[in-house]
């Protein structure tokens, strides 16, 4: 049964990856829709970032003093000015570790 679930989940996931690329003709999308698609990264990724920063493992809001919030702020500032992925991730992690291990 578990194997069956994995295979069906795999098919469903693959379909979501493939459908818009292989099955949909781009001419079917209006220019309005194409314009809105410019915002896909801005619309998708914050929905992963915000809960990852503001909720704990139990789905509860973290305190305003939570180290993740400060780590995220540091990463935000470093990322904004450096435009560098490694610097963004590392600055966030290092400041987060600095708070949990040294303060």
Partner 1 sequence: MLSKSKIFLRGTTDVLPHMLSVIPFGIITGAIGVEFGFDPLLVYATSLIIFGGASQIIFMQLLSGGASSLVAITSVGVINSRHLLYGAVLSEYLEKLSFFKKLFISYFIVDQGFAESNKYLKKNNSQKNLHFHVLGGGITLWFFWQISTISGIILGSFIPEELGLKFAIPLTFLAIIVNDLRKLDHVFVMLVSGFASLILFDAPFKSYIILSPIVALIAAFIMLRFKK
User: Least distance to partner 1 from the beta carbon of 70, Å?
Assistant: 11
What CA–CA distances, in Å, run from 45 to 40, 52, 68, 78, 84? 8, 11, 17, 18, 17
Q: Quick one: 36 or 102, whose CB is closer to partner 1? A: 36
Residues 6 or more apart whose CB falls under 8 angstroms from that of 52 comprise 68
Q: Would you tell me which residues interact with partner 1 (CB under 8 A)? A: 1-10, 12-14, 16-22, 24, 26, 29, 32, 34-37, 39-55, 59, 68, 71-72, 75-76, 79-80, 83-86, 88-90, 92-93, 96-97, 100
User: Least distance to partner 1 from the beta carbon of 2, Å?
Assistant: 6
C-beta of residue 74 within 8 angstroms of C-beta of residue 92: yes
61 phi and psi angles, rounded to 5 deg: -60, 135
User: Least distance to partner 1 from the beta carbon of 67, Å?
Assistant: 8
Q: Quick one: 64 or 85, whose CB is closer to partner 1? A: 85
User: Least distance to partner 1 from the beta carbon of 21, Å?
Assistant: 5
Beta bridge partners of 55: 61
């Amino acid at each position: 049964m578990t194997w069956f679930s994995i295979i069906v989940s795999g098919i469903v996931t693959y379909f979501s990856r493939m459908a818009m690329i292989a099955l949909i003709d781009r001419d079917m999308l209006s220019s309005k829709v194409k314009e809105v698609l410019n915002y896909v990264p801005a619309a998708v990724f914050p929905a992963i970032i915000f809960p990852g920063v503001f909720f704990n493992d139990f789905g509860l809001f973290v305190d305003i003093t939570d180290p993740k919030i400060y780590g995220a702020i540091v990463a935000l500032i470093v990322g904004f000015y450096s435009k560098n992925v490694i610097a963004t991730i590392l600055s966030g992690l290092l400041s987060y570790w600095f708070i949990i291990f040294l303060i």
